[in-house]
Chains A and B, each alone.
Chain A
Amino acid sequence: MSAPVVVTGMGVVAPTGLGAAEHWAATRAGTTRIRQVQRFDPEGYPSRLAGEVSSFVAEEHIPSRLIPQTDHMTRMALTAADWALDDAGVSPEEWPEFDIGVVTASSSGGFEFGQGELRNLWRRGGAFVSAYQSFAWFYAVNTGQISIRHGLRGPSGVLVADQAGGLDAIAQARRLVRRGCRISIAGGVDGSICPWGWVAQLAGGRMSTVADPAQAYRPFAADASGHVPGEGGALLVVEDAESARRRQVPVYGEIAGYAATFDSPAHSGHEPGLRRAIEQALENAGEAPHAVDVVFADAAAVPDLDRAEANAIRKVFGARGVPVTAPKTMTGRLLSGAGSLDVATALLAIRDQVVPPTVNTVPRPEHQLDLILGASREMPVSTALVLARGYGGFNSAMVVRRAGWAGPPEESERSER
């Protein structure tokens, strides 16, 4: 049995708020942030809605040095990393440089930055392309920039698995911590709400073209019509439980189990891989299905994918056998930011014993889901299952639960972030 790996800090930059406290307050209240795209003019595109991080002003959060060389999503990631480290009480300059690593997930990279440089290339010539294009668009850039900013030389990496990547990154961080790295900053902060990113996502055929923000993203509904994209995510400080106890810092919870599977080709007739991912994640956590208090759904809002997810949940937990929620109905789907934001939200649900709602949808009765609708549900929560699927057949499942040692008793109140 491996030693527990826990979460001791979180940094959230999401449509629902800057910082975990703002995000959690808005999420508990069921506040939707889906609206007309502001970052570019969406007229002329079939989809015009998004969950944007509208209150983020980069200059207020990161040094001027980093502005010319970073895409919007990297600026948000750097900010989330700062907040996660603060929250965990970790000042990297006081730590041995090889003790802390970074693992982030990305779906595509810094598309808005890349689009600007492609425009320069076409309109003005190669001499006008920024030298920073060499890395600013690159999918590995968030890990690199966070590592450089804080001087982190521990084992690091990047995972690319579309929406599933946020969970995969946290799982990789857990592996690295088990192999001896004391702390890993892990998760995803993502987004490409710019014309280039928009047409790339439209080509996938899963974006909703419904104009009304209250009707556009309806997972599990009879009239599910695809999703609304969003931006942002969360980074977590993932730490060896013994290290957290030695430091006497509060613990949000344990990364207890994880598994990833890959779907067979659609024409193969094989069952999609999500059920196996759930079962293997539970086995990895050493938990039976009845121990799970709530499931955070992937919530694709594409009828076939909704059916596959509902079937997987029903096969493991029984009909209406477990409460299910999808707070991403408030933010849109955040690409690789989705999984880590759901893990952060699940840990806050465990802390406060309340599960945030799913908004703007009503599930088809055939799905037999106990979907938490409209308002938060106060209930005992010790263990949560988070699901995430990526385009192309990625399935990831992660089990988080209340930690055996949750921190020194006098520090039961978390900081405001």
Chain B
Amino acid sequence: MKAKGIVFLVLLIFIMVSTAFNYGFKGINYSIAADSVRFAVPANFPKPVYDFKDNPVTSNGFKLGRILFYDPIISKDKSISCANCHQSFAAFANLDHAVSHGVDECLGTRNAPPLFNLAWQKEFMWDGGVHHIEVSPMNAMTNPCEMATDLNTIVSRLQETNAYAPLFKAAFGTTEINSQRTFRALAQFTSMLVSANSKYDKYIRKEKGGDFTAEEIAGYALFKQKCSTCHQEPLFTDLAYRSNGLDLKPEDIGRDSITHLETDRGKFRVPSLRNVELTSPYMHDGRFETLKEVLAHYNSGVKPTANLDPLLHQNNVYGIRLTTLEQSQLIAFLKTLTDRDFVNDKRFQAPE
């Protein structure tokens, strides 16, 4: 009886202390159940680039990654989480925000890219400067206009938040919290963000719900004829860096900032068109609000920039001429790339 009383008292103190430690980190539910998850390659997709050998996705690893993704503790003033700029309903891009918006009301220079099918990406960010999924969150964590902190701070904050030790233990076997485990848990979450269940995918895989309308069929034919060299199926990007003639004198030098090559000035990575209906605004700086504006650019707005992609200057014509009808057909096809199953997947959303 007496022993029971002591255990109870110790437990009570423990709870009080841990509550005190967690003061200020409201809104994060550290006790969500582990989802049953497994990384699987969709039937119409190639082999992923990410080698899961050292970091296989497990339910507990994914769960920790999910909690970290939604925890603002990662930013300097504990106000911004990964999810601030990567919203599930916008296919993990930032709806309405032209450029990233971080701590202290700081505005960055580039549009937050959507997060999905990252396991197939060999390079990350608009300029491809990051070449591994595991270290890509470090960019946002340390950018002074995003989370504005550093790894040592993040790791010690996680160590001081009692809820994390058991989460790390469940995910990796011991309670040790370090940057590698933090990155790997986040990679388990982000690599699971697979979008491959759009109407287009069902059409390709001849599944139920994959019947295209006449307009969508016409749009797909146009797409294959005029867009698919850069926006290669099934990822809808060739992951190359190209200039699409936005500005005669680019304000942002793009890929050049990584390679230091004049021939890369003003080039940016070809974005995936999957879920493009949900990821406005568009381009590296979010200058276009609608898909109509984007197609208008390709139709009549392409400028003879220094490194303009040769595909956008053929037979003395700049850009891709498209009639109004063709533009609406293309947009109809692009909307078949919207994956509602993906954006509505509860496993990817904030822990309730």
Query: Do A and B interact with each other, yes or no?
Result: no
